Structure 1
Amino acid sequence: MTPNTPTTQMQYVRLGATGLRVSRFCVGCMTYGNSEWNGWCKNEDESLALIKMAYDAGLNFFDTAESYSNGQSELILGKAIKKYNLDRSRIVVATKVFFPVLPGNTPFFMTMEDRMRNSSLVNTFGLSRKHIFDSVEGSLQRLGLDYIDLYQVHRVDQNTPLEETMEALNDLIRMGKIRYIGTSNMRAWEIQKANNIAERRGWAKFVSVQNLYNLLYREDEREVNPYSLDAGIGLIPYSPLSRGKLTGQHRTTVRTEAATSVPFMTFTDADTMIIQRVAEVAEKKGVRPAQVALAWLLAKPCVTSPIVGIGNEAHLQDIIGSLSVNLTADEVTYLEEAYIPKPLM
């Protein structure tokens, strides 16, 4: 599985205000794992080949989580690094902590209430010092690495003081087990509170935020995006194509069907209009709709590296091709003006 020679070379940018340089796109590894965990996951052999293909195309930034396929995603990424001898000094490995690694192929989509009531899950999730320290050891073992470049909290833990979480993360940096820390699925005030705690104590601060952001969900433009830009925090948005809806193919997949019950992911008439406009702009420019949607994200000064799922060579070519798509101010306005605000996630 070798991609065609790209006409556009991969670009590299700093992650927020750090000196760490990452590819303009980040490879989302949630897709790589076990199809029994979720039907849209790729098997190991295909996943390994896709990771190698992305690396050969210049992508050096890989994002996973301990909970993806209950640890299988981290295992596969670690196997790819070893099998293909990916240059450790060049690649940036990111993973996340919060959810438990469950036995077998149990999905991690459980409510917090169910987790709290399940005696077998005590201390196996959240952002306590104990779970963070246990989790980083598990992730390092599965990845087969001596350190993790970017260690991210997967969500807010209402049952653990932020001081405890930030101190534990800072200690892991001092111990050399991680290099930088980031966050995911947090509001602006929560990120600011955490970083203020760290700054007062002389601890490491969050350098990145991984939230949902695309043409169909733009609620972070209210506070998270401007705050991140002002504070020098790199935005690495996930689902840049809104689970495939912005590809213009009107796909119905296991992932899109699962999202219909989530208020902030509910499909609306405004979404249909935006998708149509993406297709119109793409046709006018002679490119694919996915490339227009990605180019729109890249044009935002707060965005560092959108997290993309790469399931085949065509996906990779769309990603690389979007680097050379330049949208005019009028085109950006045309794509954005039909948007109607949605409930916050």
Structure 2
Amino acid sequence: MKYTKLGTSDLTVSRICLGCMGFGDPANGQHSWTLPEAPSREIIKHGLDEGINFFDTAIGYQNGTSEAYVGRALRDFVKRENVVVATKFLPRTNDEIDNGISPQEHIRRSLDMSLRHLGMDYVDLYIYHMWDYRSPIEDVMEGLNNAVESGKVRAIGIANAWAYQLSHANDVAAANGFAQFVSVQNHYNLIFREEEREMARLCAENNIAMTPYSALASGRLARHPGESSKRLQEDSYAKFKYDKTAQEDAVIIDRVAQLAQRHDVSMSEVALAWLLTKVTAPVVGATKMRHVDTAVKAVELELTPEEIQYLQEPYVPHAIVGVVAQNMPESATKEQVWTRESPKG
């Protein structure tokens, strides 16, 4: 395993972040394909054994059971100071807004609940899971700064954000002497490269770490056409994100398969090796031991510039899908996220 600094923070992270959305009570949340605790623990232990020290979960994953599984496993298998634990908080609920709960208080309550789930005194990276259009960003940044000053959070990140939002939030933080976002966790992979329009450039210029999710497009970059899995069959949200562009994406997926055969490696390794040339540490979900193995091997796979270009060349414009698009205010129009020039190879 290789390691690097997370943006401008003092956190040293493995080049692979183990995404923990697949861990949690399958009967208690949004997803039916998640793993119960025993197999989750085995995968977490295997990740640690393979040198992964960066783990990402969220209070919203299976109603907090992901956090609980991750926390218990890490407490049993590793010293706290040897891992980097990230979790995320959601926007205020309607009830909280109606009852006058401020963004600062919401963040404090959410963090304390996550710490109880995890069984920890602090988290290394606390992530704003999605933009709360009903909360002033000044209040959100103050609440996050309070969390850092309390010692319960070492660094802060953002997820599912537009580049202008990340830039504006850090400007607000700088103007007020608050902690700034050191990382962004957005949707980015070989068949969804819209982050290259603005976000990638913003992050490169400001040393903000990119830790994208959906690194393998919910398994689509890991399998030949016709192959399936429990998640591919049951993850309706992933189908919503990728099914409309399946025909265009198939061209790229076929090239991943060709290079995998050439290098005698898995398709996952090729897709992740490409992404590792672009970002700090992709968030890679794992529901089987071999998912960890392929992710770790990808760190050592070096693609030539010609191979990188070969993978990138067929890319066509994609509509913005997922949380960023769904969470937009009603005043934004569909055309704002559909009609943009495509990033090319």
- Do they superpose with TM above 0.5? yes
> Is contact 2:91-2:132 (8 Å) kept?
no
> Is contact 2:125-2:154 (8 Å) kept?
yes
Taking structure 1 as the reference length, what is the TM-score of the superposition?
0.87
> What residue in structure 1 maps to residue 179 of structure 2?
204
Matches within 5 A, 1:72-83: 72-83=65-76
Matches within 5 A, 1:1-345: 10-36=1-27, 37=29, 38-84=31-77, 86-98=78-90, 116=94, 119=95, 128-249=103-224, 250-251=227-228, 253-262=232-241, 266-300=244-278, 303-345=279-321
> Is contact 2:9-2:155 (8 Å) kept?
no
- How far the C-alpha of 1:123 sits from its partner, in A, is 6.8
* Distance change in 2, residues 1:284/1:157 (3 Å): same
Taking structure 2 as the reference length, what is the TM-score of the superposition?
0.87
- How far the C-alpha of 1:255 sits from its partner, in A, is 5.0
Gaps of 5+ in 2: 322-345
- How far the C-alpha of 1:266 sits from its partner, in A, is 2.9
- How far the C-alpha of 1:70 sits from its partner, in A, is 0.2
* Distance change in 2, residues 1:222/1:265 (3 Å): farther
**Cα distance per residue 1:306-332 (max 9 Å; x no partner):** 001122221122111112211111111
- How far the C-alpha of 1:268 sits from its partner, in A, is 2.8
**Cα distance per residue 1:265-311 (max 9 Å; x no partner):** 633322000000000011111111110000001112xx111001122
- How far the C-alpha of 1:127 sits from its partner, in A, is 8.2
Aligned partner letter, 1:70: N
- How far the C-alpha of 1:82 sits from its partner, in A, is 2.1
* Distance change in 2, residues 1:188/1:283 (3 Å): same
> Is contact 1:40-1:254 (8 Å) kept?
no
> Is contact 1:127-1:153 (8 Å) kept?
no
* Distance change in 2, residues 1:255/1:122 (3 Å): farther
- How far the C-alpha of 1:49 sits from its partner, in A, is 1.3
Structure 1's consecutive aligned runs of 4 or more residues displaced over 2 angstroms after TM superposition are: 121-124, 248-252, 254-262, 264-268
- How far the C-alpha of 1:179 sits from its partner, in A, is 0.6
| In structure 2, C-alpha distance between the alignment counterparts of 1:144 and 1:205, rounded to whole Å | 26
* Distance change in 2, residues 1:67/1:269 (3 Å): same
* Distance change in 2, residues 1:305/1:200 (3 Å): same
| In structure 1, C-alpha distance between the alignment counterparts of 2:98 and 2:252, rounded to whole Å | 44
Give the 3-state SS of the residue equivalent to 1:165 in structure 2: helix
Per mean C-alpha deviation after superposition, the further-off stretch among 183-192 and 320-329 is: 320-329
Percent identity of paired positions between Structure 1 and Structure 2 = 39
Aligned partner letter, 1:44: E
* Distance change in 2, residues 1:122/1:161 (3 Å): closer
Aligned partner letter, 2:25: N
Aligned partner letter, 1:289: M
| In structure 2, C-alpha distance between the alignment counterparts of 1:132 and 1:200, rounded to whole Å | 21
> Is contact 2:5-2:11 (8 Å) kept?
yes
* Distance change in 2, residues 1:265/1:240 (3 Å): farther
Give the 3-state SS of the residue equivalent to 1:260 in structure 2: helix
**Cα distance per residue 1:72-127 (max 9 Å; x no partner):** 0111111112222x111110000001158xxxxxxxxxxxxxx64xx5x6579x98
**Cα distance per residue 1:174-228 (max 9 Å; x no partner):** 1111110000000110000000000011110000000010011000100001101
> Is contact 2:91-2:131 (8 Å) kept?
no
* Distance change in 2, residues 1:237/1:174 (3 Å): same
Give the 3-state SS of the residue equivalent to 2:190 in structure 1: coil
Coordinate RMSD, CA, aligned = 1.9
> Is contact 1:260-1:267 (8 Å) kept?
no
Aligned partner letter, 1:296: W
